[in-house]
Amino acid sequence: MEKMKKTLFVAFSSQKGGVGKSTFTAILASTLHYRNGFNVAVFDCDYPQHSLAQMRQRDQTAIMQNEIFKKLAYQQFSTINKKVYPIFQCKPEVALKEAEQFLQTSPVHIDIVFFDLPGTVNTPGLLSTLAGMNHIFSPITADRVVLESTLSFTDVMTNVLIKTGHTSIETIRLFWNQVDGREKSVLYDHYDKIIYELGLTLMETRVTDSKRFRKESESEAKTVFRSTLLPPDKRLIKSCKLDMFIEEFLKTIKL
């Protein structure tokens, strides 16, 4: 009898807001659950705004108001024959406990649990919850404040938590997001060198900037990008190299 694979705990984490943590959580969860055949669950721990739970409510409204989305949703759910992935609201300090309780009662095996966490390091329970992750992905942008904040935080996670052994973390990966195609690659090469000198690991894929990251399922739109009910349009994710990022993501977590 084949042994069932363990459920992976994954978080997109950073100390800075506005770098794409919730967006990547939604896009990855929807792609893997609705298109790639994995079973996913999301714990929205970004108290009190709970942006992903609110996004789910907006998505439900958009689908009811948009005939194209309504048709896409009907085709999708009749084809994959599975429910939407659940989004649970909770505080960071109880996220691991509530996730374990959910996994014990889930009628299907869950491959990945995504945790959408706050960006403030002194949030109660944040560090202990991060220590319970298997894989952490930290988006960075070519902004000095964002870089310094994220690098110092990742350095602590890598060289303190992991090396002391008080953690479940297997990998921590930084990755470039919102890359402006007009900027010289020399700038990113310079930053890459600093990251490697710190002993940190950087993903190869650089996700390019796109206004689509700030757009959800709108009532008059014809394509989907950021949604908790439908996967992003394949042409849209290819245009900003998200397809390459997702492929590298899966290789990294060995799923």
pLDDT in tens, 56-79: 999 999 899 888 889 999 999 999
Question: What pLDDT was estimated at residue 93?
Answer: 93
Q: Which domains does the chain have, with CATH numbers?
A: 8-253 (3.40.50.300)
d(CA 62, CA 32): 21
- Residue 189 CA, chain-centre distance (Å), reads 25
Question: What pLDDT was estimated at residue 242?
Answer: 94
CA angle 93, 13, 130 (to 5 degrees): 40
Predicted TM-score (pTM) of the model is: 0.91
Alpha-carbon separation of residue 88 from 95, 117, 211 (angstroms): 9, 12, 28
Question: What pLDDT was estimated at residue 2?
Answer: 46
pLDDT in tens, 243-253: 999 999 999 99
Alpha-carbon separation of residue 181 from 53, 184, 207, 239 (angstroms): 32, 8, 10, 12
Mean pLDDT by 10 residues, the chain (255 residues): 77 77 94 96 90 93 89 91 95 96 96 90 81 93 82 77 76 90 77 88 90 55 85 91 96 93
Beta-carbon contacts of 166 under 8 Å, excluding residues fewer than 6 positions away, are: 131
Q: Are 111 and 5 in contact (CB under 8 A)?
A: yes
d(CA 63, CA 81): 18
Number of other residues whose CB lies within 10 A of the CB of residue 167: 19
